Amino acid sequence: MKIGIISDIHSNYYALKTVIAFLEGQHIDVLICAGDFVGYGPQPKECVNFFLYYPISHYFCLGNHDIGVRFRYSDYYHQEPIKQDHKILKTFNFRESAAEMLDRNAQDIQEDHFQFLFNLPFKQIFQLDHKKFYLTHGTPSLRRRENVGKYLLPPPLQDPRVTIDRLKNDKKAVSADIIIIGHTHRRFLIARDNFYSWSLIEDILDKKPTKFPLKFPFNKNRIILNPGSIGQPRDGTGNASFVVIDLDDEILEFCDLEYQMKNFYRLAKEKCAPGLQDSSFWANKFGYFSKE
């Protein structure tokens, strides 16, 4: 069984369609997305439309920008804002340009796009073949606010043992074979049993760039995985980053692809809020300490 794992699309349809074409060429059986389908970018409808009737088996979850857009949509068009979303959003601190794009995305989407976002779960726990998966955007937890909004940073920005220790808050995370998260836009891999960690941040700080794609055999190891971001990577590459897992061979492969960046930057300049119009924001090659 082959699994495509993506995250943090952020209304960047140019990047999304490039990655999906690659994954379908790999004949994936399952697609997993760790949230943030919308926000930041200028193409929320195109991105959500793609997933509305996606024919391949899939598992998706809710991101913090998804919750921001659906709350604003419900406030604008239903006059009944989602109460649980409001409680969670009060604890977030979106910068001004990001908050403006939440508003613009909410005004751009339609009811079927809202329903897609409304039905996204805070986390998903499922089994594929012989592996137990735990999927959430931020941090495995019993608290929804942490599911969508708490960061698990890549090593060495955060000690991997701290990351592993946080799993104790959710027994289903403790027992999972593969935990998939997003949110940071920075790819990493932590093997929990035969302890091992890897991230591109380490390569950047050590000034030893790694050639992509990278393959890792995970065998019987239980792992924590962040595939990076399709729409706006923050870990040293401007390319759309994602992961392919082959469960039969137990191989995990980090990939990144160039896409029609110039076309996307042109559209971002036309439609994005100030502060998100510059191409350096989207091809964030050195901004790996940037905030939410």
- Give a yes or no: residue 142 inside a domain: yes
Q: Which of helix, strand or coil describes residue 52?
A: helix
At which residue do the structure tokens 């069984």 appear?
1
The pLDDT value given to residue 169: 86
- Give a yes or no: residue 204 inside a domain: yes
Q: Which of helix, strand or coil describes residue 125?
A: strand
The pLDDT value given to residue 44: 98
- The token duo for 195 is 């302890």
The pLDDT value given to residue 195: 86
The total number of structural domains that make up the chain: 1
- Give a yes or no: residue 262 inside a domain: yes
Record the pTM: 0.95
The pLDDT value given to residue 287: 44
Write the burial class of residue 99 (CB in 10 Å: 0-12 exposed, 13-18 middle, 19+ buried).
middle
- Give a yes or no: residue 254 inside a domain: yes
The pLDDT value given to residue 285: 54
What is the phi/psi pair of residue 206, to 5°? -85, -5
Q: What is the DSSP string of 56-117?
A: SEEEE---HHHHHHHHHHIIIIIS---HHHHHHHTT----HHHHHHHHHHHHH--HHHHHHH
CATH number at residue 167: 3.60.21.10
The pLDDT value given to residue 263: 96
**pLDDT, mean of each 10-residue run, the chain (292 residues):** 98 98 97 98 97 94 98 92 91 94 98 98 96 97 96 91 91 96 95 88 72 81 95 87 95 94 95 92 58 37
pLDDT tens digits along 205-251: 776 767 667 899 888 789 999 999 999 998 877 899 999 999 999 99
- Give a yes or no: residue 287 inside a domain: no
Q: Which domain holds residue 247?
A: 2-282
- The token duo for 64 is 């913090």
The pLDDT value given to residue 6: 98
- Give a yes or no: residue 11 inside a domain: yes
Distance CA 262, CA 264 (A): 5
- The token duo for 42 is 């200028």
Distance CA 264, CA 286 (A): 20
- Give a yes or no: residue 290 inside a domain: no
- Give a yes or no: residue 292 inside a domain: no
Question: CA torsion 236→92→98→85, rounded to 10°?
Answer: 120
Give the residue from 56, 9, 1, 60 showing the smallest Cα distance to 34. 60
